[in-house]
Structures are given as structure tokens and as C-alpha cells.
Amino acid sequence: MEKSCLEAIYDRRSIVEFTDEEVTKESLDQILTAALRASGPGGTLTGGYRGSQPFSMIVVRDIERRKKLNEMLCEGRKKCIEQAPVSVLFCVDTNRLNRWAEVQGGTAHFKGIGVLWVALRSVYTAAQNAVIAAESLGLGSQYVQEIVWQPYTTLDFFSLPKGVLPAAMLLIGHPAERPVLAPSLPLEAVVHEERYQEPTDEALVRHFGEKEEYFQKWMKNLPADSKLKKHMEERGVTNLAQFISLVTYTESFYKWRDDMVRMNLALSELE
């Protein structure tokens, strides 16, 4: 059953279990067309011309390639990559833009951090349009962040030329289950009137209260013999802020991510 735009946005959740039911070509075309209709930078004519749309989408349906992708990105940990009948890779694509400029007598100078910054905006608005479209059609989706941390293997796997950089991957399929809807921060935590308002310590704790409650329930339900639970106990983790900063997104982890981003940019010759 199709949902309204707001219903799709408000009810969206990351799906981790998919059925083996195929996504029809009609539905996939609708989703990809919605991605193409996303707002993008570069429109200066009356009514805009949707800019240069410096991104490409690569659709993966073949089961053997999905299995390889699952093993390559997650060492088999996330079976949903293999389960979901469709994977869509969203890439920054300055290769097409530069070639077009050359063919039409322009200048192929599209590279560097400034160009990347603009192109990423196009990539992520397109990907999120696809998420909303899939949800509105009764399908489910999940972002796979690991796609950007495997530069050597992904560039070869997708035969990407210079100037094309993997930026997001979206799994699309029929949900086998609907996880509990995770809480969002309240509007008062993120909306500021006229200028930035620094919250008090008490307000910060209050703003994250619903997320903290969600985390505490999750932590309480961890198996007694869970390696993660043992690791958390060893680190003295008792709340969500500690879990995020001491266990999942550590300083060393971000250092590794920084290195991977630089490697991606170097291999794609986008700097």
C-alpha cells in the first residue's frame, strides 16, 4: 500500500531483514526517477535546470555480485546486502561532467574539494529521494556506509573510471520485518531561532533522553555472554554518549576513516 510523502518520512526505518520477493522494474524505475528529481546545485536559469547532476547510480541485481559485495564490504556480517534484491550505488561523477565539457568545447576542470563538496550534495539528496520513494511504495531500504571504506576493491568491482567516487549505497527490497521506530531528537534540540543558542548541560541531557531510554532497553537485552556487552563493561560504559564515543566512533576509528577518505580521493583523482 502506498504512503503519502509525510507518512513515508515519519515511518522510515532501516530494514535489516528482506524477503526474497523481487522489486519490479516499474517500482525501481519510479525510485530512480525520484532520485533524479532531487534538488541539486548549479541551476541559474529561470526555474532552474537541475544543474549538472554530477552523480551516477549503479544498480546491482545479480545474486552472485551481491554475495561478493556482501563479503567484500562486511566480511559476510550483514546478510541483508545479499538478501536485498537491489543494491544501488550512488557515486560522485565528475568524469561525465568533464567529458561533456570537453565534447561541447568547454573546459574539463571539475576536480578538487570545492567540486566534491557540491557533488556530494547532489549525491545525498538523490539518495534520500530514493529512500522516501521506496518507503512510499511499501518497500524498505538501508544505507550501507561500508561502501566508502573499501577504495581499492570497490573501484575495481564497479569498473569506476577516474573522477567517479562511491559515496553511498542503498539496499532496497520488501521488508521481512519492521524494526521498532528509533527515536529522533526533539525539535527544541536542533531548531534555533535567528541565531545559535548554546544549550545548558541539563538541556543536553534532556534532549537525548528518549534516545538514552532506547539505548538502555537495547543494552539490557544484550545476551549475558555477548562480547560487546563484555567490552562495554570493561570500558565502564553505562550510557549512550559513552557508547558512541568510547566503543563505536572512537578517535582511532575516525583517524582510520580520514585515511580512507584521502585514499578514495587520491585513487579517484578528485583532489
What domains lie within the chain, and their CATH numbers?
A: 5-178 (3.40.109.10), 187-257 (no CATH)
183: its cell numbers? 527515536
The mean of the pLDDT values for the chain is 91
Average pLDDT over residues 247-254: 88
Average pLDDT over residues 117-133: 94
Question: How much is the pLDDT for 271?
Answer: 73
Q: What angle do CA 132, 133, 136 make, to 5 degrees?
A: 85
Among 77-81, 119-123, 266-270, the range scoring the smallest mean pLDDT is 77-81
Percent of the chain with pLDDT over 90: 68
Say which amino acid occupies 205.
V
Question: How much is the pLDDT for 52?
Answer: 84
The H or E element that residue 171 is part of is: strand 164-173
Confidence of residue 34 (pLDDT cuts 50, 70, 90): very high
264 vs 43, which has greater pLDDT?
264
269: its cell numbers? 583523482
Among 1-5, 33-37, 80-84, 205-209, the range scoring the smallest mean pLDDT is 1-5
Among 63-77, 114-128, 211-225, the range scoring the smallest mean pLDDT is 63-77
Predicted TM-score (pTM) of the model is 0.89
Question: How much is the pLDDT for 123?
Answer: 94
- Determine the longest span between alpha carbons in the chain, in angstroms: 66
Contacts of 159 (CB under 8 A, 6+ apart): none
Answer whether residue 182 shows pLDDT above 50: yes
Question: How much is the pLDDT for 37?
Answer: 93
Contacts of 223 (CB under 8 A, 6+ apart): 229
Its sign, for the CA torsion 257, 119, 83, 217, is positive
pLDDT tens for 38-57 read 987 765 555 544 568 899 99
Please tell me the distance from the alpha carbon of residue 142 to that of residue 12, in angstroms, as a whole number. Answer: 10
Question: How much is the pLDDT for 254?
Answer: 84
Answer whether residue 175 shows pLDDT above 90: yes
Distance, first Cα to last Cα, the chain: 45
Please tell me the distance from the alpha carbon of residue 91 to that of residue 161, in angstroms, as a whole number. Answer: 11
Among 168-172, 180-184, 202-206, 254-258, the range scoring the smallest mean pLDDT is 254-258
* DSSP secondary structure letters along 120-164: HHHHHHHHHHHHHHHHHTT-EEEE-GGGGG-HHHHHHHTTPPTTE
Please tell me the distance from the alpha carbon of residue 125 to that of residue 257, in angstroms, as a whole number. Answer: 22
